[in-house]
Structure 1
């Protein structure tokens, strides 16, 4: 019987669903592990008023892996206009996820049920079964709580950690999350915000431990651009260094690095106001971190912004699976 390689992708934000949509039609068993520490936009409002796990990242992942017709996915993604004061800014999918979470009593069961309804190709696991709060300590010793507050501070981050709703009790991932990581052939981190999309997942103790113990190859898709308030002036080696330092050992086996230059006059920094400048390269620093480096043209320019080329990244991930299995 043919064994489909198991790929686990851990993250959040806008990069995660892009890669997932590219993997959906490949012959792989996909599991998406999604952050629940978001507190901005529609997700943040619902989190504050309804006391639910923020649904935005989960919504985008559901759509990326859904085999529903386009019209149904478009409806799920539809966001009410600002003139609709009562529902202004809310995506229909966020409201559905919040409602089902209330009906089922927890986000994990709600997402599994919604996965069946939306004909999901693969598995989607919220990284925790409760809303998490991201905490940060900055280089100057100050501390802040909340993802949006941390990013808005524009202060150099020293470390991050997550807390749950129960005092003096560390948050834990469901056993399905840990099992998926331990049984994977490949773990993919990113692309996404280093401190606010990727690390919040890894800072859950049993998730971080599983990533350290798994026999799977751990691949990090390094960001193309630095992010204001998070990774200003970071090299690719700095990104890997931060991940390894937070986990207490060198866990990144392979890093995908874009070496195609981003045209200076192409980026609209007013529209894409979260980004700062292209990530610079430090190949000696990457070698010091003990990881294999795959450097190639992974760049896709669109809408005056710099993004990963989905198909090139996905093809490289599939190539790595074949290379590892043939070793």
Structure 2
């Protein structure tokens, strides 16, 4: 759908302001659909990833991991498809350094060095790529995710935390370079949250894509005090080392517990059934079972529950239907604000 043919939706003469907070592969799908439905989108993207190409680049040149930011840039860009294909191209060379790296990750890392920080680098790239919306790294500095497990042990690093396969009690973030300093989000991030009509969490890994953002002190406080409705898009599948055996209600409980109260207003839960042959578990090896529905538990955690078949099955994977989810989000933007 071209920009001119998008659904026109306005609030008092303007596009609805939707702030989406998270990371991972599910986020770009929702962002693209919101953009197509004429939302004024701001994506606040996690910077605590330490795996894959992003993690290797981070270790080599000590920049914020660029992978999630790269995918979000593409999802909101009006650049030509050929340019986006180049930006997303991943080297298959056997070269010890370039193998597996996405060109976009290298460009983001280079611009970060040129600009002196990741925030300005992403704003420059947004202009170059004709991005419709705003893309803000959750922090200008690389962050390390830390977790305490129910058994009292502590682990650091997204990858190491997931590898433990233990039940997580709570998580927090520290500045990777200066652990004694309190991580903060830059002022445009806080302003976007304060001015939003709705704030959306997810979809994405609960402990490693969503909560790291909320654990940035001033960002979490902005979410708690915002007049906007807080919407959580619940995951379709449970995830190894994070949400094993979690119901949808337990996902919401964990968010509320980390925020320190009952803050989630609305939750979107999938009612479609994932069949035994719908998901290639070898390819998507982080997933376990479909998240079970607990309506009574959800009622205790939030005010509004929207249940529908939000499934999109393709590429041997299980994903959210971005258009359906975006429609529900925008409906909430028009119907409700937090009092």
TM-score (ref. length: structure 2): 0.94
> 1:260-287 CA deviation, whole Å, 9 max, x = no partner?
1111233221121000000001110010
The alignment status of 1:292 with 2:304, answered yes or no, reads: yes
List aligned pairs for 1:164-313, cutoff 5 A: 164=175, 165-313=177-325
List aligned pairs for 1:134-173, cutoff 5 A: 134-164=145-175, 165-173=177-185
3-state SS in 1 of match to 2:242: coil
- The CA distance in 2 between the partners of 1:215 and 1:180, in whole Å, is 12
3-state SS in 1 of match to 2:268: strand
Deviates more, 1:152-161 or 1:78-87: 78-87
- The CA distance in 1 between the partners of 2:106 and 2:112, in whole Å, is 10
| Deviation (angstroms), 1:82 | 4.3
| Deviation (angstroms), 1:26 | 2.1
Instruction: Check whether the contact 2:174–2:182 (CA below 8 A) recurs between aligned residues.
Output: yes
Deviates more, 1:100-109 or 1:160-169: 160-169
2:103 aligns with 92
- The CA distance in 2 between the partners of 1:289 and 1:192, in whole Å, is 19
Structure 1, unmatched stretches of 5+, are none
Deviates more, 1:166-175 or 1:88-97: 166-175
The alignment status of 1:23 with 2:34, answered yes or no, reads: yes
The alignment status of 1:60 with 2:71, answered yes or no, reads: yes
Deviates more, 1:82-91 or 1:160-169: 82-91
3-state SS in 1 of match to 2:173: strand
The alignment status of 1:8 with 2:19, answered yes or no, reads: yes
- The CA distance in 1 between the partners of 2:90 and 2:138, in whole Å, is 25
Instruction: Check whether the contact 2:267–2:302 (CA below 8 A) recurs between aligned residues.
Output: no
The alignment status of 1:49 with 2:60, answered yes or no, reads: yes
3-state SS in 1 of match to 2:178: coil
- The CA distance in 2 between the partners of 1:71 and 1:177, in whole Å, is 31
Structure 2, unmatched stretches of 5+, are 1-11
List aligned pairs for 1:122-141, cutoff 5 A: 122-141=133-152
2:132 aligns with 121
> 1:100-158 CA deviation, whole Å, 9 max, x = no partner?
00011100111111111111101000000000000001111111110111111111111
Instruction: Check whether the contact 2:190–2:218 (CA below 8 A) recurs between aligned residues.
Output: yes
Instruction: Check whether the contact 2:37–2:326 (CA below 8 A) recurs between aligned residues.
Output: no
Instruction: Check whether the contact 2:16–2:330 (CA below 8 A) recurs between aligned residues.
Output: no
- The CA distance in 1 between the partners of 2:180 and 2:94, in whole Å, is 43
1:315 aligns with 327
3-state SS in 1 of match to 2:256: helix
Moved over 6 A (4+): none
TM-score (ref. length: structure 1): 0.97
| Deviation (angstroms), 1:225 | 0.4
3-state SS in 2 of match to 1:256: strand
| Deviation (angstroms), 1:319 | 1.6
Query: Over the residues paired in the alignment, what is the CA RMSD in angstroms?
Result: 1.3
State which of 112, 118, 133 in structure 2 corresponds to 1:101. Answer: 112
- The CA distance in 1 between the partners of 2:246 and 2:93, in whole Å, is 36
